[in-house]
Structure 1
Amino acid sequence: MSTDSIEKVLDLKGLLCPIPVVKIANAIKEVEVGTVVEATATDPGVMMDIPAWCASTGNELASMEEADNVFTFRVKRLK
């Protein structure tokens, strides 16, 4: 787990792609550089979509975990 400051927490369970990526993108714009947005989702597509989005936007995927078909990920805003 990341030790960075979690600034915003999103519950994206039940939402299908591309909505989780859109919500994370909007949330990242609202937090300070260096802080983290944490989200939970149930769409398995986030396992590919969130890392790809982070790579394309220059943000850091601080962590991603799966337990009981719930995906928890933390994205750190880098710019």
Structure 2
Amino acid sequence: MIKQRDSEDLIHSYFRNKTVAIIGYDEQGYQHAKKLRELNAEVLVVLRDGTEEAHWKKEGFEVISVWEAVDRATILQVW
């Protein structure tokens, strides 16, 4: 049986040093993006049309198009 700590380590090691694109960014996506960044994942953000980019760029996230995300990301997450 996998212990809780072993499970967390496994999840963390999976995302570490990967490029993750979060599509459809919202509050849950924002929290997840911060956690991924702590794991040394490169986090790319795809916003819905009309969503203000300045806040997310200020937080240090790169805002890109969905097509660029498909080209660059190792993992795509849709929120």
Structure (1/2) with the larger helix percentage:
2
Q: In proportion to residue count, which structure has more strand?
A: 1
TM-score by length of 1: 0.39
